[in-house]
Every structure is written in structure tokens, then in C-alpha cells.
Structure 1
Amino acid sequence: MIEMKVELTSSEATIELGKLVAKQLNAGDVVVLDGDLGAGKTTFTKGLALGLGIHTVIKSPTFTIIREYQEGRLPLYHMDVYRLENGGGSDLGLEEYFDSDGVSVVEWAQFIADELPVDYLAIKFERTDNDDTRILSFEAHGEHFKHLILELSKHNG
């Protein structure tokens, strides 16, 4: 398994990393974000959106569960499935998003683990004692994402 850790010291750095990741994403890719509230998941997704050419304001989909952004190189489907803690993910038709022409970003994916495809990129966000610093751990599930992490490591080496 290919893994990589990155230390980021600002929200701007988080956005820039999201842009870098976006350049290597393809239709049907799934990115899973894990971390506490306020750890930087939505900030990273803002960068991902910018990297896809989406300039709409990105908001956390906590209350809507899924927000769709269509105007980029690829559509972005931003999901926050925290409210599905007690089930219900199978009723949303998530596989249609995962098999679509866009990129799916899923926060709190542990609540829909059975719905996830075999191949995806997992990113864990960890806070540190310094309020501005985050450690992101990337874990590849599938060959495409192994390659993506190797490419990212060239920029963050």
C-alpha cells in the first residue's frame, strides 16, 4: 500500500494541495476525507474545486448531504454523510455518483463504508498543537491512486 504524509501550515497551503490533487483526478474518482470538525476537509475541497475549474463558493454539505458543482473540467459531488451514521446510505444511490462523469468527495465515509467503490483515495486530516498546522495522511486504494500519490510526493518531497 502506498501512503504519504504532508504537513500543512495554513489554509492557503491546504487549498494549493487540493488544486494539485485535482489535476490528477478523472471521472468516477472518489476521494474520502476523514477528520474532526474544523480539521480542514472543506478547505481542501475548495482547493480541489478550484483545481477542477469550479469557482463557485464551496460550502459544507452537512445539512444537504450532497452538493453538486457542474461547471468545472469535471463535475464535483461533495458529500457529507455524517447524518447517515445510523444507516440510509444505500437509499441515496451513491453508486450512481461514484460511477458518474464527476469526482466524488466524501466526508465521514465510515458511515457508508459498504457503499464505497474498491478504488478510492483516502485522506485523513489531523490537527496538531499549532492551530494552523495540519497533517494529512494519504492512502491509495487502487493503482490510479498509487500513481497519484507518487506524483504528489514529487511536489511535496
Structure 2
Amino acid sequence: PDLYPEALRGVIEEVNEWVYRDINNGVYRCGFSTTQAAYDRAEAGLFAALERVDGILADNRFLCGDKFTEADLRLFPTIYRFDAVYHILFRCSRARISDYPNLFGWLGDVYALPGVAGTCDLDATTESYYTQLFPVNPGGIVAARPSDAAP
């Protein structure tokens, strides 16, 4: 499929910009903050952006309308990892993805697309984050995650 259709390129670029800044990079800005003020700014931006995405998905199946695009592809890994990794390890703990009904539904829809689930291994992802990011988790302890963690 064409993930970057010409008619949607402007919208895709706009979405990519704030999704990267506030969500994809936002979780890292939370997790690697060295001051409370930096964490507070990153955390506020992250959760405002998650609210924004949830609002967009209230009226659209995907971020840029009814078609899966590059914008959805770029958002998916962060949302897929969120509850198991970023929520706990990176202190993005205000809410879980399941607290955003439209975003949670979108996550399930994207995960169900042909070929997606086969590229996802949440156990391996979680173990990698918890054991290899020494500055964030010097003990390498892998936290238990809720049994209903997405997906």
C-alpha cells in the first residue's frame, strides 16, 4: 500500500512533526529527564499529544483519515510499547493506552493488519529496554506488567 499518498502528504508531515516531538521523542524526554522541570514539560506535552491523538481517532479510523499511512506507522511502535515499557520505566505514568478508548482501539486495529503482529514481540522488547538502558534502570530489573497490557 501507498503509505505516503500525494493527496495526504501535507497532513502526514504535520502529524509526523508533533507525533515525533511530543510522543515518539516525548517518552524519551520523560525517561531521561535530569530535572523535575524538564520531566514536567515532557510529561505534559506527551499526555496532551495522546489526548490529541485520541480525539482525532474519535472521528477517523487512522491519523490522517480512513487510510493507514506513514503517520500511523511512525506512531505504532511507541504506542505498542507504551504500557509495558514507557509507562513504568520512563515514568510516563499518568495514564495507560487503555485509558484512551479510541487510541486503544486503533492499536488493536493496527496490530491486526496483515503482517504486523508477526513483527511484534512485547516480551523481547520489554526485556531489552529494562536490561540494556543502564542509566534508566541500573539494576536491570524487569517490572511485571498488567495482564491486560496492550495488545
Q: Same fold (TM over 0.5)?
A: no
Q: TM-score with structure 2 length normalisation?
A: 0.30
- Structure with greater proportional strand content: 1
Larger RCO of the pair (alpha carbons < 8 Å, separation 6+): 1
TM-score by length of 1: 0.29
Task: Say which structure is richer in helix.
Answer: 2
